[in-house]
Chains A and B, each alone.
Chain A
Amino acid sequence: MKNKNTTWTTRILIFLIASGILLPMVHKDPYFLHICIIIFIWSILTFGIRIVLITGHLNAAQGGFLGMGAYFSAILTMKLGWSFWISLPASGLAVAILAMIVGYPILRVKGAYFVMITFGITEVFRQIWMMWKDMFGGPQGLFGVPKPSPIDIAGLHISFSSKMPFYYLALVVLLFTVLVMRRLDNSRLGITLRSLPQSEMLSESIGIPILLYKLIAFVIGAFFAGLAGSLWAHYFTYASPDDFNWTNSLFMLMYAVIGGTQTVLGPILGCMLLLSLDEVLIEFQEYTPIVLGLILIFILFYLPGGLISLPQKMGSLLKWRKK
């Protein structure tokens, strides 16, 4: 049963990756590519929040980490003249280090209190960006973040002034994220992370350093938020404090929960469904939040395991009917 599920996950994943690579060759519409890029960036973020979620923590600092990644990358390229290709991993690492410092004291806090303290962290970050004008540009944010510098791969000169190359860039970062997360899920580390919320008492009694593992998950999540932030800044070419708030952390949590946390497919499916909703309903923009809210509630009522539990649910429904 378990193995069958894994092979299905792999198949769907391969299908999604293949269509991700091939789609822009067929459908070159820049607007379509734009939507895809946004879905990719949000998926990376959602993966970051999911890894913390499986340890039993609802992390609302992810929006703040996203912003820190964006600002960090913008400052590195604009003020220090670094290349985007160095500042991308650098902002991931910087945010990871920041998360290590922030995470150690706060991960003792649990449940609703953890949600609140991480809300607080995002909000404190935001006020720092707004107050420190020289560094972060104040309430307007930083404008004129450069697009990634052109690169030459195998004799091909790739410039990032059009959407297509950026699409593939975001896709590659997302694939890297999926690869890492999938590895994690199947490793001993993944099993241990998942065990944490099930019984802290048991973990404590067999000598598992709970806080350390939570910190590892928190830092990994922040690293990917940093990467996503860098992509964000160089794609939109600005970093503004309005974009990186606790509402965004909540949206990431929604995508993760709605997609389902059991397999790596969850974040991708959640982001695909809920973000494409914006586009489907573009004519009725003011109704979008209502539809989104109804979908959230509907899925919680009827698919508590998220979208990825749909096949199982269908399966059990069919069995029930046969009987």
Chain B
Amino acid sequence: MDMLIQTFINGTMGSLILILVASGLCMIFGIMHIVNFAHGEFYMLGGFGAWLFFDQEVLPLFGPPAFRYILSVILTMVAVAFIGIIVERVLLRRFRGSLQSILVVTFGLMLIMQASTLIIFGVTDKAFSSPFQGYLSLGNFHISQERMAAIITSIVIMLLLYFFINKTKYGKAMRAVAQDAEAALVLGMNFNLIFSLAMGIGCALAAVGGALVGPIFYVNPYMGVAPVMKAFVVIILGGAGSLLGAVIGGFVVGMTEAFVSTYFGTHFAIMAVFLILIFILLVKPTGVFGHEE
């Protein structure tokens, strides 16, 4: 029973982080139709950002540790969003719509980002701890404050995202573009701005995922590879461009992974995730909530 609850908590955290990364990917794909294979590298940058700002103290942040940590995460999100916007403007925008070119460009970008990080920071794993230490005990079982903080932060960010998409002018404009780009064009929306927003928010979401996971595990230049694969599975499960789908898909994949790996082993977990993917696509070639082209 304890193991079940423990697995459930781990699964919840895994799912929430995955949902963050996948929503970012989903936004970029839904709005710009860019399949960003370098998305995991923005997640990786997020991890390094948290490490730099909080653990290495590259900026003279002040205040209690918890405050400095939150500030570091926010700074990381802003910085990575900025990098993402530049990348989209300079590299990706012109290849929009050509899957083959996008794949090559983002793969090249992935290589460049991984290797640059490796050269600058070295190959060793960077372990650091967040200010939230110790355990919360609820009767018989315990949860680390670190994980609890990650869970709460993810939920807060997803709520903010939900609010932004549904209640603000720009969020509504983005939704309109995702649903019908042509109609949005007719309505005279500023596509440049919307693309930049989508890429910036998408990358910031990946970055916050990395920044939250960094202190729990560790940070290294290749940490983005595995999550981005899972994130792709999530958005296919959820249907491209559907944030609600990404949330549901994230829970399905995250929980499957947590439970299968606890009870059957890691290899089975990865296999289960991909078998779900294959099965879904065989039944519905455009994903669960996807629509026909």
Contacts and interface: CB of A to CB of B under 8 A. Distances in A.
A246 B230 CA distance: 13
Contact of A290 (B95, B111, B275, B286): B111
Contact of B275 (A124, A257, A296): A124
Contact of B103 (A105, A121, A253): A253
Question: Interface size class for chain B?
Answer: 35 or more
A116 B274 CA distance: 9
Main secondary structure of the interface of A (DSSP, over half): helix
B105 A300 contact: yes
Interface string B103-127: 1110111111011101100000000
B218 to A, nearest CB: 20
Contacts of B286: 113
A15 interface: no
B119 to A, nearest CB: 5
A58 B270 contact: no
| Residue among B29, B37, B99, B116 with most chain A CB within 10 A | B99
B268 A127 contact: yes
Nearest to B90: A297
Interface string B200-232: 000000000000000000000000000001001
Interface stretch (A36-44, A66-74, A185-193, A281-289): A281-289
B277 A120 contact: yes
B278 A121 contact: yes
A286 B99 contact: no
Contacts of A123: 229, 270-271, 274
Contacts of A293: 107-112, 115
A124 B111 contact: no
- The residue in A106, A253, A289 that gathers the most chain B C-beta atoms within 10 A of its C-beta is A289
A58 B101 CA distance: 11
A33 interface: no
A117 interface: yes
Contacts of B108: 254, 292-297, 300
Of A112, A254, A290, A304, most B-chain CB atoms within 10 Å: A112
Contact of A131 (B233, B268, B293): B268
Contacts of B268: 127, 131
Interface in B162-205: none
Given A110-B285, A117-B278, A121-B278, A58 B112 contact: no
Q: Which of B37, B111, B270 has the most CB of A within 10 A?
A: B111
Contacts of A119: 229, 232, 274
B104 A300 contact: yes
Contacts of A297: 91, 105, 108-109
A28 interface: no
Nearest to B285: A109
A124 B274 CA distance: 7
Contacts, number: 122
B114 A289 contact: yes
Contact of A111 (B99, B105, B232): B99
Interface residues of A, number: 41
A250 interface: yes
B46 interface: no
A139 to B, nearest CB: 9
A290 B115 contact: yes
Interface string B248-290: 0000000000000000010110110011011001100111000
A113 B105 contact: no
A11 interface: no
Contact of A254 (B104, B232, B240): B104
A313 interface: no
B137 interface: no
A296 B229 contact: no
B35 interface: yes
A52 B91 CA distance: 26
B243 interface: no
A115 interface: yes
B236 interface: yes
A116 B277 CA distance: 8
Contacts of A275: none
A116 B232 contact: yes
A116 B236 contact: yes
Given A109-B285, A115-B35, A130-B267, A253 B232 contact: no
Interface string A98-136: 000000011011111101110111011001101100000
B100 interface: yes
Nearest to B110: A293
Given A124-B274, A257-B104, A106 B99 contact: no
A105 B282 contact: yes
Contacts of B287: 113
23 contacts: A58-B99, A105-B282, A113-B236, A116-B236, A117-B281, A120-B233, A120-B274, A120-B277, A121-B274, A123-B274, A127-B268, A250-B103, A253-B103, A254-B104, A254-B107, A286-B115, A287-B119, A289-B112, A289-B114, A292-B108, A296-B105, A300-B104, A304-B101
Closest CB pairs A-B (n = 7): A296-B108, A293-B112, A293-B108, A289-B115, A289-B111, A127-B271, A120-B274
Interface of B: 29, 35, 37, 91, 95, 99-101, 103-105, 107-112, 114-116, 118-119, 229, 232-233, 236, 240, 265, 267-268, 270-271, 274-275, 277-278, 281-282, 285-287, 293
